[in-house]
Amino acid sequence: MKASSAVLVLLFAVTDITVSAGADWPPPLPPMIPGAFGFVPIPGAAVAPDPSHAYKVIFDTTRAAAKPDLPADGILFAATDLSALRGQGVAPANTKFALIFHGRAIDAILDNAHYHARFGIDNPNLAMLAGLKKAGAEIFVCGQSLAAIGIDPAALSADVTVASEAFIVLITYQNDGYAVLQF
């Protein structure tokens, strides 16, 4: 996020764009999932959340958080997007979310004891994982990745299900009409 902010500052400086600090934006809706970002409803926005539309997405989560005390982006944005849609009146039946973890992102789904042993702090992802699961999201980890790096499935959050292989999960969900967001 720091790099994005720096790019915006540079863009504003180069193009002579000014930002009005007095814009009258509505306050963000509080997230339904603890730890997620709030969502600011934008009056009259194009492509706003539509309660009658079915939102089907799988978050392909491969990247670890920038630092161990931060949540993984895939978890944070899944929780934020699900909260935003539900907060705008989209029913649970129209919000089909799934996450698949493989690669370095597997650290984010370790249970607290194993995360603490590895990083010396509590796992900042667990509350959002639990909130996502409670809200109906399906949360998977690649069994091939676990086998390759030697992680016992017992070391994972109870909210995670071991799948045979990440790409099979991604292909299956895409064939069922899910959009793929990569993190």
Q: Provide DSSP, 72-105.
A: -HHHHHHHHHHHHHHHTT--GGGEEEEEEE-GGG
Domain-located, residue 126: yes
pLDDT of residue 82: 98
> Residue 123 is part of which domain span?
54-182
Q: 119-161: per-residue pLDDT in tens?
A: 999 999 999 999 999 999 999 999 999 999 999 999 999 999 9
| Per-residue pLDDT at 26 | 86
Is residue 37 a part of any domain in this protein?
Answer: no
Residue of 109, 100, 114, 149 whose CA lies nearest to 129: 109
Q: In the prediction, which pLDDT does 5 show?
A: 37
The pLDDT of residue 22: 63
Number of domains in the chain: 1
Prediction pTM value: 0.86
Tell me what the mean pLDDT of segment 42-65 comes to: 95
Q: Let me know if residue 141 belongs to a domain.
A: yes
pLDDT tens-digit map of 98-122: 999 999 999 999 999 999 999 999 9
Read off φ and ψ for residue 156, nearest 5 degrees.
-95, 160
Side chain identity at 118, as an amino acid letter? Answer: R
Cα–Cα distance between 52 and 54 in angstroms, integer?
A: 7
From the number of C-beta atoms within 10 Å of its C-beta (0-12, 13-18, 19+), residue 115 rates as buried
pLDDT digits (tens, 9 = 90+) for 61-99: 999 999 999 999 999 999 999 999 999 999 999 999 999
Tokens representing residue 91 in the block: 């029913």
CA-CA distance, 64 to 111, in Å (whole number)? 15
Give whole-number Cα distances, 96 to 19, 56, 127, 135, in Å: 37, 5, 19, 10
CATH of the domain at 92: 3.40.1260.10
80 C-beta neighbours (distance < 10 Å), count: 18
Does some domain include residue 13? no
**Helix intervals (H) in 33-165:** 73-87, 112-119, 126-134, 143-149
Looking at residues 27-46, what average pLDDT do you find?
Answer: 93
